[in-house]
Amino acid sequence: MNEFEKEVNMLDKFRCDFTIHFYGAVFIPHKICMVTEFAQYGSIQDLMNKKEMEPRTKLKVKILLDASKGVQY
């Protein structure tokens, strides 16, 4: 629980256009939930695994650049 509280405090300070925004934590009996911005297309892994929507090279490069900017932040 102590580690989770540290994580919540850290995430609450992040504000970057290249990361999912964190809004808070909710404690439900026997569950701890994190409230984040809705990701319309799911995770990057979900997007890459969809056969009907294989990302083109240009989109892959954009995803990689945006992810690197988020990591750099």
Residue 20: predicted pLDDT? 82
Residue 39: predicted pLDDT? 82
b vs e for 15-52, b when ≥16 Cβ sit within 10 Å of the residue's Cβ?
Answer: eeeebeebeeeeeeeeeeeeeeeeeeeeeeeeeeeeee
Residue 4 CA to residue 68 CA, distance in Å, equals 25
Residue 68: predicted pLDDT? 92
CB 68 within 8 A of CB 49: no
Render pLDDT for 8-64 as a digit per residue (tens, 0 to 9): 888 888 888 888 888 988 888 888 888 888 888 778 777 777 766 666 778 778 888
Residue 69: predicted pLDDT? 92
Residue 30 CA to residue 21 CA, distance in Å, equals 24
pTM of the model: 0.58
